[in-house]
Structure 1
Amino acid sequence: MTSAPPDTRAAVLDTAPVILAPARRSWEPFARQSIITAFVVGAAIASAATPWLSVTDASRMWQGAALALALLLVAGLMVRSPALRRAEIVIPIGDFIAVGLLRFGTGDSQSVFLAIIVLPVIWIAAGPGRWRILVPLAGTCATLLLPMVLAPGHGITVSETVRLVIAVLVYAAAGAVVNELSRRSLQKLTMSQWHRRLAEAEVSQAAVVQRSLQPVDGSSLPSRFRVAGACVPARTVGGDFYDWYATLDGGTAFTLGDVMGKGVGPGMIAAAVRTVIRSSVDEPDPATAVRRAAVGLDTGPTAAIGAQFTTCFHARISLDGTLRWVDAGHGLTVVRSADGTTVFLRSGHLPIGVGSNWTSSEVALQPGDSVISVSDGVLDLFGGSLDSIDLYREFIEGRDDIQTIVDELVARATRAEQEDDVTVIAMTWGEA
């Protein structure tokens, strides 16, 4: 006894984390620090070069610029060594000191460059974790109180104290807002990724189910029949299907269907049509199986099947070589004689979901004759133009073995990405 396959949805739910931080590229710290360094160094150069910007301590000003450049170098090293990324937060923390030195050297409380500290505030606060609100708050305090360390005798007036407190609160509020927005964005991204993984898992499971419905080989068929078939879906789940099986009278039935569209929706319709037709194994008339499929998909006046109709070729070959077939708007089935000549099996019937009545036709096969049916995606392999059908006919006439035909069509389909499903089924009848 085989165990039941694990529930894919449950597996994804069990392994889905609550919040996942997206992996950031190694060059991001360098890019962020480049902006901050440009502002700090640019401010120092502008202050030294223009008379209307104050310079009260040139050495401290250039120390701030040098520190920003040193931090840029560290960020550059992180690009080459991802292990250093663990210490990334050191860079924006250092920027608070660099901005503090720049501010002290360009007029202290009168400096116009204090606003630069919003950049490291955003850098730190944008990460996950509430502690990232406190770090920018401490960094802002360090920037504003740095003059008291550099100049111990530096006095602070009441009005300046109020201004510094307000500045600290404003930058702290900015950090809190950025952190909250970042947290919400991260939650939405995580949920989006989780839903995407869940959808991919369900689509993969649907593809496994669809492949399991395709016949593996013709070992269960009577010895007078040789069969070959394949389906190369344009997406993980395709709208094409094929099937073959032995009939109760000792013959063989086979089907090829093409649901309009691609993906899971058409794949579900394809599975339904295939199942209903196969359930008619005891019905000698192929048209009856098609009519049952149409009835099974009809849900009344609001049926959506009309928007995704299914073209279908279904046939039964008896032991004496009589081919009874019905074509529901397909038109891509050919009988290839043993001598290489071909004849297309045509009908005026409409596809399932559009038409309401189908009748069967009969053809007497000769030993060695083959019946080959393909989906319209095969014509794209021959250029997809008006002469594709003629090129396809030449391809069929030039190959006398159905397995060769199937293998070469599959090889063409897998050379490049296709816009439509490529499906082929071929059966050869001969004396035992």
Structure 2
Amino acid sequence: MAQTTSGPAVAQVTAPDRAAPLAVRSSARTTPLTNQVVIAAVSVVAAVCSVLLPWLTVTNAPSMWAGAGLTLVGLAFTGLLVARPELARFELLVPALDFVAIGLLRFGTGDARSPFLAAVLLPVIWIAARPGRQHVVYPLIGTAVTFLLPTVVGQTELGSAEIVRLVVVLVVFIGVAGVTNELARQAAVRLQAMQDLRQQAEAEISQAALVQRSLLPVTAVDIPAALTVRAVCLPTRSVGGDFYDWFPITDGAAFTLGDVMGKGVGAGMIAAVVRSVLRSSVRVGAPNEAVGRTATGLDVGLDAPTTEQFTTCFHLHVSVDGVARWVDAGHGLTLLLRADGGHEWLRSSDLPIGVGSAWTTHETALSPGDVILSVSDGVLDLFGDGLEALDRFEAFAVADPDPDHLVERLEERGRAGHNEDDVTVLAIRYDPELEAARS
């Protein structure tokens, strides 16, 4: 079997979430339809109530129903706008039609005494909420059309009282349009600023994910041929708190699987520090000394702000003669799969890095074909909840201990659905015959 890592050994990073911009665009397309539904509902209800309620007046039924009908025509057109986004440039035709419709409704339900003139505020706000100061002027023209239409249809003279009322209405509505337009402009500025910040954050997270991927080893050509290694890391976010690593040492190779409490960039930074310090301690000696130096490197003193983060870690040195010396720093998820079918957990009572202060090096003799499988706790989530998940995982590993198959099948499970925690797997097989063949 080749000693380099297989394709899946490269850490997979999830793509940034693009759902929010898509939702914004979808909302922008459906807003005209929502606006027109309200206007059409108000107009139709006003017409029906004018017919059914004795205290409401119907002065011209054809005009009243024509006004309600025009709002329904506008509703059909906005439905077409949603289905055909390329027609969006014609959106303002709908509120323009509504000004005429409300004018006819007003004429048909009492003219100057109509209680439904206030409905003109709906198309006013619709237009004024669009960007550009010209959208303050358009509602002014539309309101004048609504107010003067009964005079044109009824062929009546505009009295002084009506002129005063028109001026007051125009002043008030132009004020409403101006305020609406300014609020919409400020909201657009804030939205753009938020989108810029989001894009900047996504770019920084993408860069952090790239850096984290570059820290994961992708080849094992430098480690002894007696050791075959396979690994995969599937973070739940672009940057995760899990990591694996391997590198050559004097008499063999060192392997690490770490799991930083938490997710995201903060956990990824801690993971990078732990990995780097462990690598720099390659000449220290025993694994417990390397872990101790790592804890010292993360210790920033009693007066420093606490991050409440710790790292569980399994750090292993394997020599070419089959001696495995290991430290279990609060990890507890490393399984030794014997070539004869037996298995045992490589665990200790030592505390995680960031919590404990001393660690013990344990020694285990490996036989040809033995496999050491270490996983993060996100892997257990793939096997259900509770203590039964550990039993199911154990049975899964014992059934087929081949490193290629273990990593491949666990990766398939990890990619099959959304995981709440990072999924990381590290599998090492000891086979001295490969070393002899290379020699």
- Asked if Structure 1 and Structure 2 have the same fold, meaning a TM-score greater than 0.5 normalized by the shorter chain, the answer is yes
How far does the alpha carbon of each residue in 1:256-288 deviate from its partner, in whole angstroms, 9 at most, with x for none? 111111111111101110010011122221111
Q: Distance in 2 between matches of 1:397 and 1:259?
A: 27
Give the root-mean-square deviation of aligned CA atoms. 2.1
Matched, 1:224 2:220: no
- SS of match in other structure, 2:387: coil
Give the Å deviation of 1:306: 6.2
Q: Distance in 1 between matches of 2:398 and 2:104?
A: 85
Structure 1 unmatched runs, 5+: 1-20
- SS of match in other structure, 2:193: helix
Aligned counterpart, 2:344: 343
Matched, 1:85 2:88: yes
Alignment of 1:244-259 (within 5 A): 244-247=246-249, 249-259=250-260
Give the Å deviation of 1:156: 1.1
Matched, 1:236 2:238: yes
Aligned counterpart, 1:373: 374
- SS of match in other structure, 1:181: helix
Of 186-195 and 42-51, deviating more is 42-51
Q: Distance in 1 between matches of 2:166 and 2:210?
A: 65
Alignment of 1:320-399 (within 5 A): 320-399=321-400
How far does the alpha carbon of each residue in 1:95-146 deviate from its partner, in whole angstroms, 9 at most, with x for none? 1111122223333222222111111101111111111111001111122222
- SS of match in other structure, 1:102: helix
Give the Å deviation of 1:239: 0.9
Give the Å deviation of 1:336: 2.0
Q: Distance in 2 between matches of 1:62 and 1:395?
A: 73
Decide whether the 8 Å contact of 1:313 with 1:326 is kept in 2: yes
Matched, 1:142 2:181: no
Decide whether the 8 Å contact of 1:220 with 1:245 is kept in 2: yes
Aligned counterpart, 2:308: 307
Report sequence identity in percent.
51
Aligned counterpart, 1:186: 188
**Aligned-partner residue type, residue 69 of structure 1:** L
Q: Distance in 2 between matches of 1:35 and 1:400?
A: 65
Alignment of 1:11-410 (within 5 A): 24-151=27-154, 153-157=156-160, 159-247=161-249, 249-303=250-304, 307-410=308-411
Give the Å deviation of 1:183: 1.5
Q: Distance in 2 between matches of 1:306 and 1:152?
A: 78
Give the Å deviation of 1:421: 1.3
Give the Å deviation of 1:22: 5.2
Q: Distance in 1 between matches of 2:129 and 2:173?
A: 13
Give the Å deviation of 1:403: 1.6
Alignment of 1:391-430 (within 5 A): 391-430=392-431
Aligned counterpart, 1:12: none
- SS of match in other structure, 1:347: coil
- SS of match in other structure, 1:307: coil
How far does the alpha carbon of each residue in 1:159-194 deviate from its partner, in whole angstroms, 9 at most, with x for none? 332222111111111111111111222222222222
Cα gap change, 1:25 to 1:291, in 2 (>3 Å) = same
Aligned counterpart, 1:5: none
How far does the alpha carbon of each residue in 1:354-386 deviate from its partner, in whole angstroms, 9 at most, with x for none? 011123122222222222211122222222321
Paired residues, number: 410
**Aligned-partner residue type, residue 412 of structure 2:** A
Higher relative contact order (CA 8 A, sep 6+): 2
Q: Distance in 1 between matches of 2:339 and 2:72?
A: 81
**Aligned-partner residue type, residue 272 of structure 2:** A
**Aligned-partner residue type, residue 167 of structure 2:** V
Decide whether the 8 Å contact of 1:311 with 1:352 is kept in 2: yes
Cα gap change, 1:153 to 1:228, in 2 (>3 Å) = closer
Decide whether the 8 Å contact of 1:311 with 1:328 is kept in 2: yes
TM-score between the two structures when normalised by the length of structure 1: 0.89
**Aligned-partner residue type, residue 311 of structure 1:** T
Q: Distance in 1 between matches of 2:54 and 2:400?
A: 88
Q: Distance in 1 between matches of 2:40 and 2:231?
A: 65
Q: Distance in 1 between matches of 2:76 and 2:327?
A: 75
Cα gap change, 1:23 to 1:213, in 2 (>3 Å) = same
Give the Å deviation of 1:392: 2.4
- SS of match in other structure, 1:122: helix
Q: Distance in 1 between matches of 2:61 and 2:391?
A: 84
Structure 2 unmatched runs, 5+: 1-23
**Aligned-partner residue type, residue 425 of structure 2:** V
Q: Distance in 2 between matches of 1:113 and 1:203?
A: 54
